[in-house]
Amino acid sequence: MKHISLLFLLLCSTLLVRAEVINITIDTEVDYADRTYDMNAYMFAGYNSEFTYAAGVYMQANSMLGTSTKMSERSMNYVGTVDGYVYFTSVSCTVTATEVGYTAVADCEDADGNEYHITFIYDETKGMAFDTPDRPFASEYQLEDCIISNNFEYMGYVGIYADNVETALNLVVYVADTTASFPHIPQGRYEVNESMESGSVLASSGVTENAVYPSYACTQIVEDGHTYSFENWYIRSGYLLVTSHRYILHAYNSYGQKITARIYLDNEPDPDDIEEPDGLNTLTSSSDSATKQLQDGRIVITVDGRSYDILGRKL
């Protein structure tokens, strides 16, 4: 009887240890990427307010809202401390929309059976992680500064990378004419959003797998013959104006910082090249013409009678 009692106590103590769950709130420099529309995956990552934990989840799903239990890549599902990183063997993540962004609650387990309850709080009013929060971007480029990649067969876009040593601009422009090529893509106004539809510029979803996803602008530094990005401006809203003489970008990043860039195709004057006033970014401005509300579990932004989701995609 004594042996049974000792065994029972041992089992109970083991269960008590196993029942402990590490609760972590990730609410600082939180970043997310919704790629459910083309890659069936989404990602949340960031830090807790004390910077004692870093955490991320990368899940497969047809929609970001709701619950997913399928990890997209194990190395992107982790918790980190000063002692190193722990990678999860299982994750169940539930994402809900809030008035200012998203909340993702992830119940995770590692290979040793340790359990983690991680809450990611993304607030769009705080801007995206690693985006420049406190100053605008402005730069100019000549045609010879540009490197072009056309991908019409699968995606229907023109990729434009402009580099003048001090700064760089990376744009993905979707066009309907699959015979077009830079610099002679159809003239007109291309809205910045994540629709991947013809007549649009792809909005940046931030840092994905250690690389900045286009479209973005950045400053650069050169060390030992190598060029490195220094500061990034994620292009989140605004438009690209294509004329017969130049490409003119009037856009804003996730903090509302203005991004202005010009690619000169020639030295001719351009009557369409006018400076936009501040307040272009109606998706994040306090203009009376923009309203934001929660509809069917997602944030809907209405500007001048047109509706967008939180990523700037037209609904």
What integer pLDDT is reported at residue 289 of this predicted model? 44
Q: What's the pLDDT tens digit per position in 269-300?
A: 776 766 665 544 433 333 344 455 555 555 56
Q: What's the pLDDT tens digit per position in 13-25?
A: 444 445 578 999 9
What integer pLDDT is reported at residue 1 of this predicted model? 45
212 or 5: whose pLDDT is higher? Answer: 212
Query: With 50 as the cut, is the pLDDT of residue 258 above it?
Result: yes
Query: With 70 as the cut, is the pLDDT of residue 72 above it?
Result: yes
12 or 125: whose pLDDT is higher? Answer: 125
What integer pLDDT is reported at residue 281 of this predicted model? 40
Query: With 70 as the cut, is the pLDDT of residue 185 above it?
Result: yes
What integer pLDDT is reported at residue 284 of this predicted model? 37
Q: How far apart are the first and last CA of the chain?
A: 70
The residue-averaged pLDDT of 180-208 equals: 82
Please, are residues 219 and 231 in contact by the beta-carbon 8 Å criterion? yes
Distance in angstroms (rounded) separating the CA atoms of residues 123 and 131: 14
Percent of the chain scoring above 90 in pLDDT: 33
Name the token pair of 21. 């769950």
- pLDDT category at 217 given cuts 50, 70, 90 is very high
